[in-house]
Amino acid sequence: MSNTPFEAEHQALLLHAREFVLDLSAFAQRIETGEIAYGQHRTYVERVSTLAEQLGAAIELAGRDAYGQSFCLLRPALEQIVFDRLLCLASKYVRQIAEVPLETFEDWRRDWRAKAEGTRHIHRMERNPTTGMVRLELHGLVSSTSGNESQVLSVYYFLLQQFQPFVMPSKDQERLLPTGSGRRDRERHAKEQHAMYRTALRWDALLANLRMNELATTEDLLRLKVHYRFLSAFVHPLNDHYRTLYGRHMDFDRAPRYDHFSSELVLLYVIAFAGYELETLLQVSERPPTFAIRDALELRESLTAARSAISYLWFVGDAPTDFDRVQEANQRNWAELETGTLGSVDWRSLADDEVRYYEDPLLRVVRLHSRRREMIGASSASPWPRQDADFR
């Protein structure tokens, strides 16, 4: 075992992170499908393997003090775990089509009510009379046999097969080398592909469909948005993040070096994302067509232990920490002081849904380690105080 600060200071987190990456990598060997193998199960395994590679690379980069690059890899990993939850567990999804004339919409609605070919998956359709935006609520493919439970194949399974990310916009097709079909067909195909992305596959569409399928609460969506925005900052080179990642010394020396807080956040994300994916797989294994997971009880126990270890991240499904409750109470009390009233909010009396979420994940990790005390209001003692947190 290396005696680097990364290994020495994050032993418990590294143990959980590496164990989860191994669990994901070897998931194909855990599946027991019986006599019939289903195509969707093979797809799940392939995607899990890809996620394991990304998370493993993120750990390796963090071990080299390359935190910005690690966060870049974690952004698509976050997108994947959200998509995979829809792929495995969603039974319906929303598609929006812009600027649909009323006459066209009426034709669509007549076909739908008549149960015409191609409309049987539409559960509801409505049109905004002001904007012309049509909202379609579609259900996945349902199949059932005598004596067996109905099987629902998520619409996202088909979108995964149909979406072609390399297709350029229709307006550019005439300047691209043809691939066999006529220009008009290529333009039509390009429009369909980009409409598919806008209405079902981009980030806000994924979140909307999570909510509609009751796979996330509104609070869960807010947390996912916060982490997505944080990670996106390192994907887009619009700001210099050296000081953010490595602390104040970067004002004088721009050489990357070990940082306890950035490396800790990388590991928290790896564990949280891998755990989210494994929870998805455990849930889908119990839905028809079911499959057994070898050592599932052991896997669940590992998930419980890891979730407890990173609960202070306050990720999806977790409760706020005492630190967050104190911050909320102090903010409320300071607001009252500005009006000349003595603040009286006790942080211990706040319910979970009364505590607002944080906006900067890395700053919060730093503050969780800080030894500083509030000059006015309550303070929470850090379980892991570090001197460098006070001057970072």
First to last CA, the chain: 29
Q: Cα 20 vs. chain centroid, distance in angstroms?
A: 17
> How high is the pLDDT of residue 373?
63
Supply the DSSP string of 303-352, one letter for each residue.
HHHHHHHTGGG--TTPPPPHHHHHHHHHHHHHHHHHTT------GGG--G
User: What is residue 254's predicted lDDT score, i.e. its pLDDT?
Assistant: 66
Residues near 86 by Cβ (< 8 Å), separated by ≥ 6?
93, 154, 156, 206, 209, 210, 213, 215
Q: What is the mean pLDDT of residues 272-279?
A: 98
DSSP letter at 239? S
Work out the number of other CB atoms within 10 angstroms of the CB of residue 282: 14
Average pLDDT taken over every residue of the chain: 88
Of the listed ranges 124-133, 222-231, 268-277, the least confidently predicted one is: 124-133
DSSP code, position 380: -
What separation in angstroms does the CA of 224 have from each of 72, 210, 259?
Answer: 16, 11, 25
Distance CA 214, CA 217 (A): 7
Q: Kindly report the CA angle at 28 between 55 and 71, in degrees rounded to 5?
A: 10
Those residues whose C-beta lies under 8 Å from the C-beta of residue 352, and which sit 6 or more positions away, are 319, 320
DSSP for residue 168? P
pLDDT of 100 > 60? The answer is yes
* One-letter-per-residue 3-state SS of 261-290: HHHHHHHHHHHHHHHHHHHHHHHHCCCCCC
Per-residue pLDDT, averaged over 245-250, amounts to: 77
Contacts of 221 (CB under 8 A, 6+ apart): 207, 210, 211
To the nearest 5 percent, what fractions of the chain are helix, strand and coil?
60, 5, 35
| Residue 146: its H or E element | none
pLDDT band, residue 375 (cuts 50/70/90): very low
* Greatest Cα pair distance in the chain: 75
State the burial class of residue 149 (Cβ atoms within 10 Å of its Cβ: 0-12, 13-18, 19+).
exposed
Among residues 137, 109, 100, 85, the alpha carbon closest in space to that of 287 is found at 85
For 233, the 3-state DSSP assignment is helix
Band (92; pLDDT cuts 50, 70, 90):
confident
Task: Please check whether residue 293 is in contact with residue 299, taking contact to mean a CB–CB distance below 8 angstroms.
Answer: yes
Phi, psi of 118 (to 5 degrees): 90, 0
**Band (27; pLDDT cuts 50, 70, 90):** very high
**Torsion of the alpha carbons at 46, 50, 52 and 55, rounded to the nearest 10:** -160
3-state secondary structure of 114: coil
Q: Output 120 or 265, whichever has higher pLDDT.
A: 265
Please state, in angstroms and rounded to a whole number, the distance separating the CA atoms of residues 126 and 299. Answer: 44
Q: Encode pLDDT of 180-202 as tens digits.
A: 777 788 888 888 888 888 888 99
% of the chain residues with pLDDT over 90: 55
DSSP string, 21-61: HHHHHTHHHHEE-TT---HHHHHHHHHHHHHHHHHHHHHHH
Residue 150, pLDDT score: 64
Residue type, position 50, single letter: T
If we measure between CA atoms, which residue out of 240, 263, 216 comes closest to residue 17? 263
Two structure tokens written together for 181? 């079909």
Name which of 13-27, 164-178, 260-274, 278-292 the model is least confident about: 164-178
267 touches 10 (CB < 8 A):
yes
Q: Which residues pair with 152 in a beta bridge?
A: 142
| Interval 22-37 mean pLDDT | 81
Question: What pLDDT digit, counting tens, does each position of 141-154 carry?
Answer: 665 554 555 677 88
